[in-house]
Amino acid sequence: MDWGLENRLKRIFKPQDGRTVMLAVDHGYFLGPVSKLEEPGKTIEPLIPYADSLMLTRGVLRNCVDAKYDVPIVLRVSGGNSIVGKDLSNEGITVSMQDAVRLNVCAVALSIYVGAEYEHQTLTNLAKLIDEAQNYGMPVLAVTAVGKELEKRDAKYLGLSCRIAAELGAQIVKTYYCDDFEKIVKSCPVPVVIAGGPKLKTETDVFQMAYNAIDCGAKGVDMGRNIWQSEWPIAMISAIRSIVHAGASAEKAFGIFSELKNK
């Protein structure tokens, strides 16, 4: 592996355990000012010390994150759709590789929509992005977006999406946790991280999902709403870190969360 590519990956996946806690704050690219992310800077800044990387758009990066921070950036480079538009899967590449390099990012991220109307377009977007990224030693994270097709959240569908992303050359794949998750990890030859999805009912549900994913071989989380839509985002991300980096159980993580939330 080329040094630049390896260095970027090792800034995201911590060399001591090969795992990562990525904080996803890119939701505005199609959802606009989603709850608790109306003022991105206010939500993001207190969480930076706890995040192994930030996943976000260039607009939020340039305008809402101080360049003094040494946090690795995973830049969302797909979009061109919106929650009120006709079809979420109709995405294009929205950032040039030149701008990604200018922003000094550690990876670029793009969504693929397997089985959706614009499947072919999003998969060829991924392939083109990987060709371009390869020239710069830039890792590509493929997001197996499900959008309105969330009913397809099972190992057969997500396993298909993850494998296709890896076959096209993505270095990291982000997907959703589901039953039989170990099958997805086993059949995907690159690191898999999980998204959190919409806010779950309880903190324990979030910790259990993160624990199960890691136990099945996921290399980390790329989580958003279940962290920053919580009343206690620092306690949430700290507890998730204990699962990802210290092998804590969901119960132990809940203990850490409870202790921190009352501070």
Q: Report the interface residues with ligand 5RP, using CB under 6 A.
A: 24, 26-27, 55, 111, 143, 145, 195-197, 222-226
- 222 near 190, Cβ under 8 Å? no
Strand partners, 220: 20, 193
Q: How far apart are CA 105 and CA 53, in angstroms?
A: 10
- What's the sign of the alpha-carbon dihedral 38, 36, 150, 158? positive
Provide the 10 A C-beta neighbour count for residue 217.
14
- Which strand (E) or helix (H) includes residue 183? helix 181-186
Least distance to ligand 5RP from the beta carbon of 254, Å?
19
Three-state secondary-structure class, residue 134? helix
Report the residue number, 82 or 98, with the smaller CB distance to ligand 5RP: 82
Tokens of 235: 């306690």
Toward ligand 5RP, which CB reaches closer, 220 or 224? 224
The angle at the Cα of 129, spanning 126 to 132, to the nearest 5 degrees, equals 150
Catalytic residue among 10, 174, 186, 252: 174
Closer residue to ligand 5RP in complex, CB, 9/88: 88
Q: At its nearest, how many Å lie between ligand 5RP and the CB of residue 228? A: 8
Q: Supply 67's token pair.
A: 């360049």
Query: Is 174 known to be catalytic?
Result: yes
- 137 or 154, CB closer to ligand 5RP? 154
Compare residues 21 and 138 and give the one whose CB is closer to ligand 5RP. 21
Structural contact between residues 190 and 169, judged by C-beta atoms closer than 8 angstroms: no
Distance of closest approach, residue 198 Cβ to ligand 5RP, in angstroms: 7
CA atoms within 13 A on the CB side of 199: 15
Cβ(22)–Cβ(223) below 8 Å: yes
Supply φ then ψ for residue 42, to 5 degrees: -65, -35
Active site residues: 174
